[in-house]
Amino acid sequence: MFQMGGIGPMFGQVVFFHHLAGKEIDDPRPRQRYYDEARRLLGVLDERMAGRDWIVDDYSIADIAICPWLRTLKDYYGAGEEVGWARLKHVPGWLDRLLARPAVQRGLTIPSRG
């Protein structure tokens, strides 16, 4: 529910305002609202990950559902600075662990990026 009700919609808005047509909007308030909310959500996730390897007890669909949002927000769309990625203590390690999983590595190559 955290991914569906928070991360998904709010990070999607960050992508719109940071990378897509939203950057053409002169009023900075909508963009700032979504940056602020993304920072807040990342803070909640960072607190959750303190002393944990996975979002729940074991690797689960929660990790799988959240990973693409964080990976693309930071790396593909380049919004890490705006959402406070550098201040996170636990989330970057979680993302690294998840992306290092062999099945995730295989999945990242489908479809072929040739």
Task: With respect to residue 112, please indicate whether it lies within any of the assigned structural domains.
Answer: no
Task: With respect to residue 113, please indicate whether it lies within any of the assigned structural domains.
Answer: no
Which DSSP letter does residue 60 get?
-
Give the domain CATH number at 40. 1.20.1050.10
98 contacts 104 by C-beta, under 8 angstroms: yes
- If one counts the domains in the chain, the total is 1
64 contacts 101 by C-beta, under 8 angstroms: no
84 φ/ψ sector (left φ>0, alpha ψ -120 to 50, else beta): left
pLDDT by residue (tens digit) across 8-37? 888 888 888 887 777 778 888 888 899 999
Task: With respect to residue 19, please indicate whether it lies within any of the assigned structural domains.
Answer: yes
pLDDT by residue (tens digit) across 44-64? 999 999 999 999 999 999 999
Sorting pLDDT into bands at 50, 70 and 90, what band is 114? Answer: low
pTM of the predicted structure, to 2 decimals: 0.88
Q: How far apart are CA 4 and CA 41, in angstroms?
A: 12
Query: For residue 103, what are the domain limits?
Result: 2-107
Q: How far apart are CA 66 and CA 41, in angstroms?
A: 11
